[in-house]
């Protein structure tokens, strides 16, 4: 327990000096929301806290710089990610979490790596982090936040489907590039919802 607390305090100190103030506050808020969802779904609270705290550790640079850093460190970058650069901080963040913050737990690293796009067959921690990033208390832009927040404590898969559907609709309206992994994640959770109805 003491080790976890000391580790978390050390990570917070590092992040506070490296992230802009709003990004740091967002990271704390996601961390607390992850812990809350972990309690609701009987998941490891400590792992959820670390995933939430470090999920945006790679977001201290502009997207173009993050791309260069990924290429420099041999992090694979897909064609879809090159077109939707905003998602790339997740992969870079997972690399940083491993190499700069000494996180070796693959479940935490994988959750950080997919927190921007989602993916098919997500673990409980993957879903908790993805959802916490969307619903944390400082978020306010999405119209359906009250419903999504309530849903998050009822059914993770249904919440994933609702968020992914809303994200795709928003990107299509805005004319933004959609990473293929987001589409795959959406199709996967859409099929899950259909399966539940049958």
Both tokens of 172, joined, read 């299509």
pTM comes to 0.95
Q: What's the CA gap between 44 and 156, in Å, rounded?
A: 16
Instruction: State the Cα angle at 136 between 135 and 139, rounded to 5°.
Output: 80
pLDDT value for 53: 98
pLDDT value for 136: 97
**Where residue 197 falls among pLDDT bands split at 50, 70, 90?**
low
**Where residue 195 falls among pLDDT bands split at 50, 70, 90?**
confident
- What is the per-residue pLDDT across 136-178, written as a single tens digit (0 to 9) for each? 999 888 888 999 999 999 999 999 999 999 999 988 888 878 8
Q: What's the CA gap between 54 and 38, in Å, rounded?
A: 16
């Amino acid at each position: 327990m003491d080790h976890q607390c000391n580790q978390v305090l050390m990570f917070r100190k590092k992040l506070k000096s490296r992230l802009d103030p709003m990004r740091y506050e967002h990271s704390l808020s996601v961390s607390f929301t992850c812990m809350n969802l972990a309690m609701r779904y009987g998941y490891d609270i400590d792992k959820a806290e670390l995933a939430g705290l470090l999920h945006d550790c790679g977001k201290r640079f502009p997207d173009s710089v993050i791309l260069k850093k990924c290429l420099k460190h041999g992090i694979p970058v897909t064609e879809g990610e090159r077109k939707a650069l905003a998602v790339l901080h997740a992969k870079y963040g997972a690399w940083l979490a491993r190499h700069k913050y000494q996180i070796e737990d693959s479940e935490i690293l994988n959750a950080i790596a997919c927190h921007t796009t989602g993916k098919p067959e997500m673990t409980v921690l993957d879903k908790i982090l993805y959802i916490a990033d969307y619903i944390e208390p400082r978020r306010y832009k999405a119209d359906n936040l009250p419903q999504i927040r309530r849903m998050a404590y009822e059914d993770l898969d249904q919440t994933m489907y609702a968020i992914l559907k809303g994200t795709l609709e928003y990107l299509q309206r805005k004319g933004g590039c959609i990473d293929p992994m987001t589409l795959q994640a959406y199709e996967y959770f859409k099929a899950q919802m259909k399966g539940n109805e049958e």
